[in-house]
């Protein structure tokens, strides 16, 4: 959420940000409601002060004066109740619209209407050249008894899956290696809850937009699609010391997404599933644009280095304004090469927010003189099972076996996966 003072002082900048991000929000209406809200707050405060003053003096009054004062207080109470009702209505409308106001994209973000306008920054690695027709990860994992998609669908439903045998072991190996890799970069490890209170999804920006992709429990909580949500909530309503910053967290969690907006896409296999696991990097730092930029590049590079250590070809994209989420200042996407599709597919993203999220979470820090809202950043470390798609396809052999990347071999105890 943006500071209303910033919106008041820069209405045209906010309107332009909304236009660039293709978000419909009435900034003039917000400013009108803000004016009404401030006026009503003043009226309500005055009525309450008047009420308190009258209460203090009533004890020393005569019976006749007391009756008159009580009658006046009843009238005052009715006026106060009416103004409080008006204030609540205005504040509800104001808050609803404020949650729609997007963050301002960085000047380096290319303007565009959709994902088609994202800019490729670089590619890494050589795409494998096969002397045979490469198989898809579905064919390979079925042949090697690494996954059971039919029973997954029977048990879970659409997009269900079981990982088994070396499919499960390869996932565990990736998690173990990722833990060792990222913890060398001075992160504090967490296992984060997936069930999170609804209000915290407003904090990260996953609500109100994005509701269709969330699973809701019968208690009104939600299943998170990323550890970003619980980890940002971890310091909600807290004041940290400047000396504690930056906070550097590496969180593992199960993730749940309905994928409601992807009807007809990736209906088979592991590319787009409802339940998966992910390691997430998250940083809270000082309220400095320079620090946000620095840590954004660092988090993004961490993921690149991890993928490079696996030997998987990838490309890096700078997300355009039309594909940039409302809360983001700037984002990179990393995509892995998928031979069977002859194209790159998304595996990770890295984003920064300035104080957009921390204002909603009321996460601040103090330098001993003043309090500031921290800046937040996050980036995917690695998701499973999606990474298996690229890994098994890029490392497949003509006989249907799969070479295991050298860095994973000690974690799985073999150098290749062959048919049982």
Considering the domain architecture, whether residues 146 and 271 belong to the same structural domain is answered as: yes
Considering the domain architecture, whether residues 175 and 322 belong to the same structural domain is answered as: yes
| DSSP state, residue 322 | G
- Flag whether 107 is in a domain: no
Set 349, 351, 376, 390: catalytic member: 349
Write out pLDDT tens, residues 102-147.
999 999 999 999 999 999 999 999 999 999 999 999 999 999 999 9
- The two beta strands, 247-256 and 188-191, are parallel
pLDDT at res. 261: 63
Report the C-alpha gap between 135 and 396 in whole angstroms.
8
The answer to whether 359 is a known catalytic residue is no
The answer to whether 416 is a known catalytic residue is no
Considering the domain architecture, whether residues 66 and 147 belong to the same structural domain is answered as: no
Considering the domain architecture, whether residues 355 and 383 belong to the same structural domain is answered as: yes
**Cα-based distances in Å from 183 to 175, 189, 302:** 12, 7, 11
Set 346, 359, 397, 401: catalytic member: 346
Write out pLDDT tens, residues 328-339.
999 999 999 999
The answer to whether 257 is a known catalytic residue is yes
The answer to whether 272 is a known catalytic residue is yes
- CATH of residue 14: 1.10.287.40
- Listed in sequence order, the residues at least 6 apart from 39 whose beta carbon sits closer than 8 Å to its beta carbon are none
**Mean pLDDT value across the chain:** 95
pLDDT at res. 74: 84
Set 37, 169, 360, 386: catalytic member: 386
Question: How confident is residue 57, by pLDDT bands cut at 50, 70 and 90?
Answer: confident
Average pLDDT over residues 180-188: 97
Write out pLDDT tens, residues 289-309.
999 999 999 999 999 999 999
Considering the domain architecture, whether residues 70 and 164 belong to the same structural domain is answered as: no
**Cα-based distances in Å from 251 to 195, 202, 234, 332, 380:** 14, 20, 12, 20, 10
Report the C-alpha gap between 392 and 192 in whole angstroms.
28
Instruction: Give the helix ranges, DSSP H, for 61-134.
Output: 63-98
- CATH of residue 150: 3.30.930.10
Average pLDDT over residues 229-257: 98
Considering the domain architecture, whether residues 336 and 287 belong to the same structural domain is answered as: yes
Considering the domain architecture, whether residues 66 and 175 belong to the same structural domain is answered as: no
The answer to whether 346 is a known catalytic residue is yes
Considering the domain architecture, whether residues 87 and 167 belong to the same structural domain is answered as: no
Domain endpoint, select from 98, 132, 167: 98
- Flag whether 110 is in a domain: no
- Flag whether 104 is in a domain: no
Considering the domain architecture, whether residues 48 and 173 belong to the same structural domain is answered as: no
Q: pTM score, two decimals?
A: 0.92
Q: Which domain holds residue 21?
A: 4-98
Average pLDDT over residues 243-255: 98
Write out pLDDT tens, residues 356-413.
999 999 999 999 999 999 999 999 999 999 999 999 999 999 999 999 999 999 999 9
pLDDT at res. 364: 98
Set 48, 258, 272, 397: catalytic member: 272
Set 257, 340, 360, 364: catalytic member: 257
- Flag whether 272 is in a domain: yes
Closest to 271 in 3D by CA, of 390, 135, 403: 390
Considering the domain architecture, whether residues 282 and 313 belong to the same structural domain is answered as: yes
Considering the domain architecture, whether residues 233 and 134 belong to the same structural domain is answered as: yes
* Domains in the chain, number: 2
């Amino acid at each position: 959420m943006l500071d209303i003072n910033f919106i008041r002082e820069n209405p045209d900048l906010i309107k332009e940000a909304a236009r660039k991000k293709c978000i419909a929000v009435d900034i003039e209406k917000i400013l009108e409601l803000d004016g009404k809200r401030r006026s009503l707050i003043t009226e309500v405060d005055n009525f309450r002060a008047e009420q308190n003053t009258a209460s203090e003096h009533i004890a020393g009054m005569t019976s006749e004066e007391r009756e008159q004062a009580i009658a006046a207080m009843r009238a005052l109470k009715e006026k106060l109740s009416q103004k409080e009702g008006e204030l609540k209505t205005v504040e509800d409308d104001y808050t609803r619209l404020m949650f729609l106001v997007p963050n301002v994209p960085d000047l380096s973000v290319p303007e565009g209407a959709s994902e088609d306008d994202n800019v490729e920054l670089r590619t890494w690695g050589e795409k494998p050249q096969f002397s045979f027709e490469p198989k898809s990860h579905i064919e390979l994992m079925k042949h090697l008894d690494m996954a059971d998609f039919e029973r997954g669908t029977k048990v879970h439903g659409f997009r269900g899956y079981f990982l088994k045998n070396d499919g499960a072991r390869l996932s565990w190996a990736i998690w173990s290696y990722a833990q060792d890799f990222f913890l060398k970069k001075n992160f504090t490890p967490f296992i984060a809850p997936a069930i999170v209170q609804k209000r915290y999804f407003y904090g990260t920006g996953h609500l109100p937009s994005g509701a269709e992709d969330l699973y809701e429990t019968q208690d009104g909580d939600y299943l998170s699609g990323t550890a970003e949500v619980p980890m940002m909530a971890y310091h909600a309503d807290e004041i940290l010391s400047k000396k504690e910053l930056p906070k550097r967290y590496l969180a593992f969690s199960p993730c749940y997404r309905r994928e409601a907006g992807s009807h007809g896409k990736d209906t088979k296999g592991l590319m787009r599933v409802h339940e998966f696991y992910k390691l997430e990097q998250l940083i809270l730092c000082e309220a400095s644009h320079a620090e946000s930029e620095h840590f954004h590049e660092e988090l993004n590079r961490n993921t690149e280095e991890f993928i490079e250590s696996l030997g998987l070809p990838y490309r890096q994209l700078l997300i355009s304004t039309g594909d940039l989420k409302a809360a983001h200042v700037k984002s990179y996407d990393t995509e892995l090469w998928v031979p069977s599709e002859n194209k790159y597919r998304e595996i990770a993203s890295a984003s920064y927010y300035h104080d957009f999220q921390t204002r909603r979470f009321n996460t601040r820090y103090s330098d001993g003189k003043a309090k500031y809202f921290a800046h937040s950043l996050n980036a995917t470390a690695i998701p499973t099972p999606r990474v298996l798609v690229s890994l098994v396809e890029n490392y497949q052999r003509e006989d249907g076996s799969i070479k295991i990347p050298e860095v994973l071999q000690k974690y799985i105890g073999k150098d290749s996966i062959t048919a049982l």
